[in-house]
Amino acid sequence: MNVSIPKEMRPGERRVALAPDTVRKLVASGLSVVAEAGAGLEAGFSDADFTAAGAAVTLDRAALLAGADLLACVNGPEPADVALLRKGAAVIGFLRPLDEPDGLRPFLEAGVTAFSMELVPRSTRAQAMDALSSMATIAGYKAVLLAASRMPKMFPLLMTAAGTVPPAKVLVVGAGVAGLMAIATARRLGANVEAYDVRQAAGEEVRSLGARFLDVDLGGIQTQDAGGYAVELSPEALKRGRDLVAKHASDADLVVTTAQVPGRKAPLMLDEAAVNGMKPGAVIVDLAAPTGGNTAYTQPGENNVVRGVTILAPLNLAATVPLHASQLYARNVAAFLRLLVGEGGTLVVNLNDDVVAGACAVHDGKPVNPRVAALLAPAPSGATR
């Protein structure tokens, strides 16, 4: 199997899909790897690093695409690039299949298989392939550092000859992977941290990091599905959580919001009144910006200031830590890729494997993952979408 690594073309993207340490292992296992010249530069990997790991390096992007059995990407390739892939080739990357399903149509037309890292089942067996968690870990860490550099305060309690500086107060809304990392990072910097999540199970994890878990009575409703994910709440239950968040945000120096429900728009956790009730100089980092944001003032991809409160809404924080993000992502991709290697090192798409089938958006000109299939199905005649 020929694994190709293109240079990422999306503005601001600094990651590369396979880092040299992972390339070395793939080559040792008998695969051939080709990297586009400069593919790893922004992540801190030179062409010589790829060559030393056993990859070939080429300046010819069109030839790299045409020769790929498997194209390992961070972001999905542009339609013009998909058209250069051969029929039967496969692509792995963050393809945004649920947010932008039409982006899969060029794959259907070209007969190219699309595996999306967002669709990898979050099962125990697929844990090593969980790129969403890897990137959320980085985002949670970087969110706190971003805020620290914008805040007019320090984080730790300091007792100096000039007097005492109290610790910063941090509120984290949504204690999933990103939220827990934000809590851990803020705690390491010395802040007092509170956190809220609809899932009661998150309480124990929050407390184990030395933060206080904010509990609210949601009326005994079910807040998570069988997979452990939050479900969409009723307006009444959402309001109870929002009221609690507003009360604690009014006293916070930093609020990191991460609340998301898979496949849905992010819930509103801080309405206009809640943001207006915060202290001037306070900072919000909204990590739910890619799915619409958790605050009434979030402008995805922009920073804005409302009555002295700064609202940061970054869309791709993982790309701002490109070396570690690339290394972790590469290991996730390589773990998945091993499921695709058949006898003699050939590419095999075994749709009887639940992880392969779950992650497969389209194969052989047809949608595979049922959620993708539903989104790509033609609307019934007369119906509007």
The residues binding ligand NAD (CB under 6 A) are 122, 127, 130, 132-133, 136, 173-179, 196-199, 202, 228-230, 233, 238, 241, 258-262, 267
Catalytic residue among 32, 96, 199, 229: 229
The single residue of 127, 200, 208, 234 carrying the catalytic annotation is 127
3-state secondary structure of 280: coil
Q: Which H/E stretch holds residue 169? A: strand 169-173
CB of residue 339 vs ligand NAD: minimum separation in angstroms?
Answer: 16
Spatial distance between the Cα atoms of 295 and 303, rounded to a whole number of angstroms: 13
Q: How far apart are CA 53 and CA 72, in angstroms?
A: 16
**188 vs 199, which CB is nearer to ligand NAD?**
199
Q: Is the dihedral of CA 90, 92, 94, 99 positive or negative?
A: positive
Q: How far is the CB of 18 from ligand NAD (least distance, A)?
A: 22
User: Which candidate, 87, 32, 83, places its Cα nearest to that of 61?
Assistant: 83
Our CB check for ligand NAD shows the closer of 154 and 231 to be 231
Considering beta carbons, is residue 85 or 132 the nearer one to ligand NAD?
132
Instruction: Please say which residue, 85 or 269, places its beta carbon nearer to ligand NAD.
Output: 269
Distance CA 70, CA 1 (A): 7
Candidate list 47, 81, 130, 197, residue with the active-site label: 130
Comparing C-alpha atoms, which of 45, 51, 48, 49 is closest to residue 16? 45
Q: Parallel, antiparallel, or unpaired for β 90-94 and 70-75?
A: parallel
Minimum gap (Å) between residue 119 Cβ and ligand NAD? 13
Amino acid at 293: G
Mapping DSSP to helix (H, G, I), strand (E, B) and coil, where does residue 125 land? coil
Nearest approach, Cβ of residue 120 and ligand NAD (Å): 9
CA distance 287 to 132: 13
Task: Confirm whether 229 is a catalytic residue.
Answer: yes
Active site residue 122: yes
Which residue's CB comes closest to ligand NAD?
176
Cβ-proximal residues to 22 (8 Å cutoff; 6+ apart), any chain = 327, 330, 331, 333, 334
Catalytically annotated residue among 10, 24, 61, 122 = 122
Cβ at position 261, least distance to ligand NAD in Å: 5
- Nearer to ligand NAD by C-beta: 241 or 358? 241
Cβ 258 to ligand NAD shortest distance, Å: 5
Q: Is 47 a catalytic residue?
A: no
77 vs 314, which CB is nearer to ligand NAD?
A: 314
Whether residue 196 lies in the annotated active site? no
| Two tokens, residue 358 | 């779950």
Name the catalytic one among 21, 32, 133, 224: 133
Q: Is 127 a catalytic residue?
A: yes
Of 24, 152, 352, which is closest to residue 35 (Cα–Cα)? 24
Active site residues: 122, 127, 130, 133, 229
